[in-house]
Chains A and B, each alone.
Chain A
Amino acid sequence: MSFVLVQVIVGGLLLGAVYALFSSGLTLVWGMMNIVNFAHGDFVMLGMYVAYVVYTLFGGGPIFGAPLATLVLATLGVVVYFGLIRGIMKGPMLAQILGTFGLALLLRYSVFWWFGANFLSLPQDIVGGTYAFAGLRVEASRLLAGIVALLVTLALHLLLTRSSLGSKMLAVAEDATAAQLMGIRPDTMQAIAWAIAAGATGLAGALIANFFYIVPTVGETLAIVAFVTVSLGGFGSVPGALVAGLLIGVIESLSGYLIGAVYKDIVVYLLFLFFLWFRPQGLMGKS
């Protein structure tokens, strides 16, 4: 195996970790509440803008930007839950697509209105240059995003499987009426789930901003990747999103290098459809 191929795979893994990072919030609400959030990409975009504002106003890097983005987006998640989601959750799936698509346009173009349409970017070395290990080159900002992706996946997984909050949230997801009879307030649990999901998405945005460009329409680019990652991993499965994200990242990178970049997305979609044929519930979803 040539050395370049190793670099390609490493790059693919880091890219995949980023995919996993911005998909974990989506899979959480999707799995728990059966809601497709078409505004998910725009939540990532908002996280990027928070990081940008923190940098331009205070000169702060991700140490300040990332927690603030998490906080701002978590708050937005709660607002969106009470303002919109609660009203359309019981409705048909179409109402959810309609509502979240409208929300996507609203968020995207509010940012557009405020910040304009120019491409923005954080300084290339905001996290600290590029590491070279034995000829392998890895950007610090991507490495940071990769590590945080693993930590977030682990934290969300532990939260859902080991904590009492997690079991309450899952109980609500399973059967809201029964959970209510046991003294759990579904509204509170679901609002918390939205806060966590949106917060994780904001965090993802703030970290991606370190090495990507920032523009109001950037969410469009990222949303479809997140959809494929989440459905490949299985709706609601946080570890599934990680595995799927890494898989997609490596496949994209390898096919981009070996076959040609314009075909890499075709390869990913075809593999996705192929997987669905054998495992209609996704890699790690429950049937």
Chain B
Amino acid sequence: MKLKHVTGLLSAAAMSIALAGAAVAQDKVVKIGAILPMSGGTASIGAHAKAAIEVALDIINNAHPELGKLPLAKNAGLAGLGGAKVEVIFADNQGSPATGQNQALRLITEEKVAAILGAYQSGITLTSSAIAEKYGIPYLTPESVAANLTERGFKWFFRTTPIAPDFVRIYDEFLTDMKAAGGKTDSIALVHDNTEYGTSVANTIAAGFKEKGRTNVIDVAYPVNATDLQAQVLQLKEKKPDVLLMISYTSDAILFAKTMQSQDYKPPILLADDAGYSDPSFIKAVGKISQGVFNRSAWAVGPAGSPSAIVADMYKKKSGEEMEDTVGREMQGFFVLVDAIDRAGSTDPAKIQAALKATDLKPDQLIMGYKGVKFDDKGQNVLASAYIIQLQDGENYVSVWPKANAEKPPMLPYKGW
């Protein structure tokens, strides 16, 4: 009797410990900070990115076995941390490098986040990641493309997005293929705004094209948020370049499309460098008069029932918008970061850092069209890549290049309206 009693007690105790342990794991929350532009001129991107991260949270925190090989989808929470849930603290950078840095400090010291994702604008990524570096907290940027970000010798900084040298390679190969298909690609005009994004990407592309023997390149710069672009369109109309490469935000992309129609100007090939041309607002506003525009994107919906199509559906339900490259890269970066935390099995910054360094994701584990995710010593994803997509019907982009990923063949020349 006595022995039985003791055993009973012991087993009850064991059970309650196990239960308590489970309860602890259930309650455990991993906090991640996300710094985004949520007010000011680029606020629409912040709003879209927030929705994308919330979709990713749903995928991570709930069981989604339908998403196949996508890491973290199968079961609820993080398996590596006993089913812990992930929580994201969003912070507004207000388009200011100072505010971004203040918010990074708050996220680290007040909210005690395990890692930070941020901050869209390169200048703000620069200042906010400097704080993370000082505190030794992992910082991942899914979006910012400025070259200097990974040249600072930082140990806690990681970047998943393709950057300007990748764009050079993609555009060069794409244009070579278009020439083979009968398109004219000899002279190129780089049309870009005078922001950090526009200038730095244009400079890298100009230098890269030169190396690849494309020397017939003219540079057309304009001030961001221009009130009028007629003079630039007339300049282009006079110079008749074969390829127009547009490096523009949404505002100017819309105005360019409208002005090109009113001045009846169609280049043979209109190729856009993501940004404004990926914004669903651009398609709604001027998609009908921009038919045939090519765009760089690592996002493609894929066939129905594929993980990316399911994710696109979830995103549309959440935000009312179509999924596109910018939010896709944001979501992908978030998955990479949380996957590293899961593999680290801990919220200890050094362990997360080590796990990030050991990241080796294959294409079928990603929602984006990268060739994988693997960081070099500077923290840059060496497998980042992109497709070329085309707005063929004025409403939806379809992937047209490279051939292996193409849903439809590219359509030449640019049709416009």
Contact = CB atoms under 8 A, between A and B. Distances in A.
Interface of A: 4, 7-8, 11, 15, 109, 112, 116-121, 124, 130, 137-139, 142, 211-213, 215-217, 220-222, 225, 249, 252-254, 256-257, 260-262, 264-265
Contacts, number: 109
Interface of B: 39-41, 43-44, 46-47, 194, 220-223, 225-232, 234-235, 237-238, 250-251, 254-255, 258, 261-264, 279-282, 284-286, 288-289
A8 B351 CA distance: 61
Contacts of A262: 194, 221-223
The 8 A-B pairs at the shortest CB distance, nearest first, are namely A121-B285, A117-B43, A256-B231, A261-B222, A119-B281, A257-B231, A11-B230, A117-B44
B231 A119 contact: no
Nearest to A16: B228
Given A109-B39, A221-B225, A7 B285 contact: no
A260 B251 CA distance: 19
B40 A217 contact: yes
Interface of B is mostly: helix
Given A139-B262, A221-B227, A213 B254 contact: yes
7 contacts: A117-B39, A118-B281, A120-B281, A124-B261, A124-B289, A137-B262, A261-B229
A142 B227 CA distance: 13
Contact of B223 (A112, A139, A212, A261): A261
A45 B408 CA distance: 41
Which of B254, B288, B289 has the largest number of chain A CB atoms within 10 A? Answer: B254
B222 A11 contact: no
B281 A112 contact: no
B255 A212 contact: yes
A186 B223 CA distance: 44
Nearest to B276: A119
Contacts of B286: 121, 124
Given A138-B262, A225-B227, 7 more contacts: A4-B238, A118-B44, A121-B254, A121-B281, A256-B222, A261-B232, A262-B223
Contacts of B235: 257
Contacts of B238: 4
